[in-house]
Chains A and B, each alone.
Chain A
Amino acid sequence: MNGHRMSGHNDLLVTGAAVHGGESADVLVRDGRVVAVGPDATGAATETDLERVDADGLVLLPGFVDLHTHLREPGREDAETVRSGSAAAAAGGFTAVLAMANTSPVTDTGEAAEHVLDLGVAAGLADVRPVGAVTKGLEGAELAELGMMHRSRARVRVFSDDGRCVHDARVMRRALEYVRAFDGVVSQHAQDPALAGPGACCHEGEVSGRLGLTGWPAVAESSIIARDAELALHTGSRVHIAHVSTAEGVEAVRWAKRRGARITAEVTPHHLLLTTDLLGSYDPVFKVNPPLRPQEDVDALREALVDGTIDAVATDHAPHARHDKEHAFPDAAFGMLGLETAFSVVHDVMIASGRMDWALLTERMSTAPARIAGLAEHGQHIRPGSPANLVLVDPRAEVTVDPGASLSLSRNTPFAGRTLTGRVRTTILNGRITVADGEVRP
């Protein structure tokens, strides 16, 4: 993925950035790597084609890594393409995204995985890594060609039937056993489909009761997490819990970690901020799977993100064409945009409120997701020699979310009109600026 150099500049000098949120320093980037950090950096910069980035007042962090992105290509290029989705990723400060397998066709073969990989390279805006399906066609019955996907050029390490739960315990066991051979990880959409009717479309609780909507109870999530933790212990394999959304789910992960299971978990920005009360409008922009939950769950998720029970933030970026959301609430598509707003939401909810510092945000949005996905070129501490996958953020700037300004092809953001503190300014992929102030660099 290196060597795709479309800009005329070979080198970057970032001046006056608070590196990792600490002391302000200059950072010199050459040939896709950080070569100097600190006062020497400016002295080392003598090249004539050097691009200077004034980062006064900005914080420089390793680029964010998203374990959970839906890019819709192939199959639904009207909602998103790998190109538009990776532009949105870059605008959100992400340098790597894992593209979920529920495309059409499903990413369940080595060829399909290589196709997504190649589309990402051609777009050149983020390191796009395909997630492989756990089962053929996401049917939940037969294992997909996990080994072939791993052996392909895409080197798939993360497998998920996301959108659906691998609910058959035998299939889940086999998948975990199988991926152990290449230290793969199964990312589980933990939600027992038997615990709610087929029409389930929101959190089961007082709000769903009043609105007359069929809900998923929290136990549908926590019971699968507990089962998968047992399977992870039994097989010695790695399981990752996608988008934990309930206090009960957090408790199950906590219990599993205490028992020594190789389990990791993620939370989405929307589950850290929004609650099920928003459904009173029946606006399908708030329809997401897993659903928005009550405030007690939001509080538990925030706490778990701080104490490490939850390892990572992942967006579950799920673009949808307008007409797929303009149905009655139970009939509308599940999902929300997330890439462009993730940092602002996490900053607003976790840093501006004093719950987290920059080191922890870096761990949750960059280092941990890169480690879980096995991406050595991302999430690295910024020092001479580290890959120049970087993001500059402005902690003081406010963002009022405007769906019209999105680089995604879709407009289904649940944060429309909200004002958040913290803004992504510049994203650097392999030493090249991909997006600056919301504009894609050609």
Chain B
Amino acid sequence: MTRHLLSVSDLDDDALRSVLTTAAQMHDVQHRAVKKLPTLRGRTVINLFFEDSTRTRSSFEIAGKWMSADTINITGKGSSASKGESLRDTVRTIAAMGVDAIVMRHQASGAAQQVAGWFDESGVATSVLNAGDGTHEHPTQALLDAYTLEQRLGPLAGKRIAIVGDVTHSRVFRSNVLALPRLGAHVTVVAPPTLMPSGVASWAAADGFALSDDLDEVIDSGVDALMMLRVQRERMAGGFFPTPREYTVGYGLTRDRLATLTRRNPEAVICHPGPMNRGLEIAADAADAASSLVLDQVSAGVAVRMSVLYHLLASDGIVEGSLA
């Protein structure tokens, strides 16, 4: 595997499969009385979160701790910029403390890739793990989505998955379309035209996913999973859609759509990366339905992140034979 995990595309097919397989083993640890593996003892992982995300940060922190890594959180929105320090200086300073990995969340697309590039160019050995960069990618989210779906649906080959909502601004979407089609799933991306990224048609053709602006049609065609994306409240001011009500009517997973979904396919499941805007992109009934995998996703998140940390930090031979 590569030294950094910046994008799902950093994982070749073997690595992608291996991360998911290891995640299943890690998942078992969660059901033990003592949730501790010695795998990363003596290694230091910094959670460097320039943008708030309690969910993702906690998930990485727990993953690190259960593998016996020393995990330290550094948070603060734009803290470096406000002091006039460049991003490069900020991360160089942290890396100089001798950390093994930086788990990085940043509000700017590409930030993790830039940091990894600076490290590579100046010979810094620290691994960079992208925990969400702007509207670009969130690779561990896609890995945990794939893992969760496989746990429930079995192998994803031939499964029909729709990703619905604010596609333009979604790093969950950008990572999932790099992961799911490679696992054999048929992916359809659904959004109003104002929330589709520019140039997405040629991109979809190249990467093997379909596009639609009609959620009812997609649900009616019978899908195995609906992945609802979070709608950022600030999009409403941006004129991407007229009103929240209109968004819900057009693209929300409403009670009616939930009924159609399960009528067409009783096994169909629902995902959401959270936090959910109940009543906007997802009705409360859908969020709490038996077919909702929202909490499974959270639980899988820890296992997948343990797996990723294992692959990045433990599989280089420094720490051996520690996977129980």
- The CA of A197 and the CA of B169, in the complex, are separated in Å by 12
Are the C-beta atoms of A209 and B200 separated by less than 8 Å? yes
Tell me the A10-67 residues at the B interface (CB within 8 Å).
Answer: none
Question: In the assembled complex, which residues on chain A have CB atoms less than 8 Å from the CB atom of B117?
Answer: 281-283
Stretch at the interface among B95-103, B129-137, B258-266, B276-284: B129-137
B158 close to chain A: CB less than 8 A:
no
Stretch at the interface among B66-74, B106-114, B295-303: B106-114
Tell me the B30-49 residues at the A interface (CB within 8 Å).
Answer: none
Are the C-beta atoms of A331 and B113 separated by less than 8 Å? no
B199 close to chain A: CB less than 8 A:
yes
B87 close to chain A: CB less than 8 A:
yes
Question: In the assembled complex, which residues on chain A have CB atoms less than 8 Å from the CB atom of B114?
Answer: 282-284, 328-329
Question: In the assembled complex, which residues on chain A have CB atoms less than 8 Å from the CB atom of B199?
Answer: 205-210
- Name which residue of chain B comes closest to A206, CB basis: B199
Which of A210, A217, A328 has the largest number of chain B CB atoms within 10 A?
Answer: A328
A327 close to chain B: CB less than 8 A:
yes
**Shortest CB–CB separation between residue A286 and chain B, in angstroms?**
11
Q: Mark B183-220, 1 if CB is under 8 A from A, else 0.
A: 00000000000000111101100000000000000000
Q: Mark B161-174, 1 if CB is under 8 A from A, else 0.
A: 00000001101001
Are the C-beta atoms of B109 and A329 separated by less than 8 Å? yes
Are the C-beta atoms of A210 and B203 separated by less than 8 Å? yes
Are the C-beta atoms of A331 and B81 separated by less than 8 Å? yes
- The CA of A331 and the CA of B77, in the complex, are separated in Å by 14
- Name which residue of chain A comes closest to B197, CB basis: A209
A418 close to chain B: CB less than 8 A:
no
**Shortest CB–CB separation between residue A114 and chain B, in angstroms?**
32
Which of A206, A207, A210, A329 has the largest number of chain B CB atoms within 10 A?
Answer: A210
Q: Mark A182-223, 1 if CB is under 8 A from B, else 0.
A: 000000000000000100000011111111111101000000
Could you say which interface size class chain A belongs to?
20 to 34
Are the C-beta atoms of B171 and A328 separated by less than 8 Å? no
Question: In the assembled complex, which residues on chain A have CB atoms less than 8 Å from the CB atom of B221?
Answer: none
B88 close to chain A: CB less than 8 A:
yes
Tell me the A302-338 residues at the B interface (CB within 8 Å).
Answer: 323-324, 326-331
Name B108's contact: one of A215, A281, A323, A328 (CB within 8 Å).
A328
Are the C-beta atoms of A329 and B108 separated by less than 8 Å? yes
Name A212's contact: one of B88, B89, B174 (CB within 8 Å).
B174
- The CA of A210 and the CA of B136, in the complex, are separated in Å by 7
Are the C-beta atoms of B109 and A282 separated by less than 8 Å? yes
B2 close to chain A: CB less than 8 A:
no
Question: In the assembled complex, which residues on chain B have CB atoms less than 8 Å from the CB atom of A210?
Answer: 174, 197, 199, 203
Q: A326-B86, A327-B87 are in contact. Are A205 and B198 (CB under 8 A)?
A: yes
Question: In the assembled complex, which residues on chain B have CB atoms less than 8 Å from the CB atom of A329?
Answer: 108-111, 114
Are the C-beta atoms of B198 and A212 separated by less than 8 Å? no
Question: In the assembled complex, which residues on chain B have CB atoms less than 8 Å from the CB atom of A207?
Answer: 199
Question: In the assembled complex, which residues on chain B have CB atoms less than 8 Å from the CB atom of A214?
Answer: 135
Tell me the A228-246 residues at the B interface (CB within 8 Å).
Answer: none
- Name which residue of chain B comes closest to A327, CB basis: B87
B238 close to chain A: CB less than 8 A:
yes
Are the C-beta atoms of B137 and A212 separated by less than 8 Å? yes
- Name which residue of chain A comes closest to B6, CB basis: A282
Which of B87, B133, B202 has the largest number of chain A CB atoms within 10 A?
Answer: B87
Are the C-beta atoms of A208 and B198 separated by less than 8 Å? yes
Question: In the assembled complex, which residues on chain A have CB atoms less than 8 Å from the CB atom of B169?
Answer: 212
Name B109's contact: one of A197, A283, A327, A330 (CB within 8 Å).
A330
Name A323's contact: one of B89, B113, B202 (CB within 8 Å).
B89
**Shortest CB–CB separation between residue A200 and chain B, in angstroms?**
12
- The CA of A284 and the CA of B113, in the complex, are separated in Å by 12
Question: In the assembled complex, which residues on chain B have CB atoms less than 8 Å from the CB atom of A209?
Answer: 168, 197-200, 203
Are the C-beta atoms of B87 and A328 separated by less than 8 Å? yes
Tell me the B76-126 residues at the A interface (CB within 8 Å).
Answer: 81, 86-89, 106-111, 113-114, 117
Q: A204-B198, A211-B136, A282-B114 are in contact. Are A323 and B86 (CB under 8 A)?
A: yes
Question: In the assembled complex, which residues on chain A have CB atoms less than 8 Å from the CB atom of B109?
Answer: 211-213, 282, 328-330
**Shortest CB–CB separation between residue A211 and chain B, in angstroms?**
6
**Shortest CB–CB separation between residue A318 and chain B, in angstroms?**
18
- The CA of A284 and the CA of B108, in the complex, are separated in Å by 12
Q: A197-B238, A209-B203, A210-B174 are in contact. Are A331 and B87 (CB under 8 A)?
A: yes
Question: In the assembled complex, which residues on chain B have CB atoms less than 8 Å from the CB atom of A208?
Answer: 197-199
- The CA of A326 and the CA of B110, in the complex, are separated in Å by 13
- The CA of A214 and the CA of B235, in the complex, are separated in Å by 13
Q: A204-B198, A327-B81, A330-B109 are in contact. Are A212 and B133 (CB under 8 A)?
A: yes
Question: In the assembled complex, which residues on chain B have CB atoms less than 8 Å from the CB atom of A204?
Answer: 198
- The CA of A330 and the CA of B174, in the complex, are separated in Å by 18
- The CA of A114 and the CA of B111, in the complex, are separated in Å by 42
**Shortest CB–CB separation between residue A99 and chain B, in angstroms?**
27
Name A327's contact: one of B86, B136, B171, B197 (CB within 8 Å).
B86
Question: In the assembled complex, which residues on chain B have CB atoms less than 8 Å from the CB atom of A324?
Answer: 86
Are the C-beta atoms of B174 and A326 separated by less than 8 Å? no
Q: A323-B89, A329-B108 are in contact. Are A206 and B198 (CB under 8 A)?
A: yes
- Name which residue of chain A comes closest to B178, CB basis: A210
- The CA of A13 and the CA of B87, in the complex, are separated in Å by 53
Question: In the assembled complex, which residues on chain B have CB atoms less than 8 Å from the CB atom of A326?
Answer: 86-89
Question: In the assembled complex, which residues on chain B have CB atoms less than 8 Å from the CB atom of A212?
Answer: 109-110, 133-137, 169, 171, 174
Name A211's contact: one of B88, B89, B110 (CB within 8 Å).
B110
Question: In the assembled complex, which residues on chain A have CB atoms less than 8 Å from the CB atom of B87?
Answer: 326-328, 331
- The CA of A214 and the CA of B106, in the complex, are separated in Å by 16
- The CA of A210 and the CA of B175, in the complex, are separated in Å by 10
- The CA of A205 and the CA of B135, in the complex, are separated in Å by 15
Q: A212-B171, A282-B110, A329-B108 are in contact. Are A206 and B136 (CB under 8 A)?
A: no
Question: In the assembled complex, which residues on chain B have CB atoms less than 8 Å from the CB atom of A281?
Answer: 113, 117
- Name which residue of chain A comes closest to B167, CB basis: A209
- The CA of A330 and the CA of B51, in the complex, are separated in Å by 15
Question: In the assembled complex, which residues on chain B have CB atoms less than 8 Å from the CB atom of A284?
Answer: 114
Tell me the A88-121 residues at the B interface (CB within 8 Å).
Answer: none
Question: In the assembled complex, which residues on chain A have CB atoms less than 8 Å from the CB atom of B200?
Answer: 206, 209
Q: Mark B138-175, 1 if CB is under 8 A from A, else 0.
A: 00000000000000000000000000000011010010
Q: A217-B198, A281-B113, A326-B86 are in contact. List 11 more A-B contacts (CB 8 A).
A: A212-B110, A212-B135, A212-B137, A213-B109, A213-B134, A282-B114, A324-B86, A327-B88, A329-B108, A331-B81, A331-B87
Considering the complex of A and B, which 4 residue pairs feature the smallest CB-CB distances, nearest first? A206-B199, A282-B110, A209-B197, A328-B108
17 contacts between A and B (CB under 8 A): A204-B198, A208-B198, A210-B203, A211-B109, A211-B136, A212-B135, A212-B136, A213-B135, A281-B113, A326-B89, A327-B87, A328-B107, A328-B111, A328-B114, A329-B108, A330-B109, A331-B87
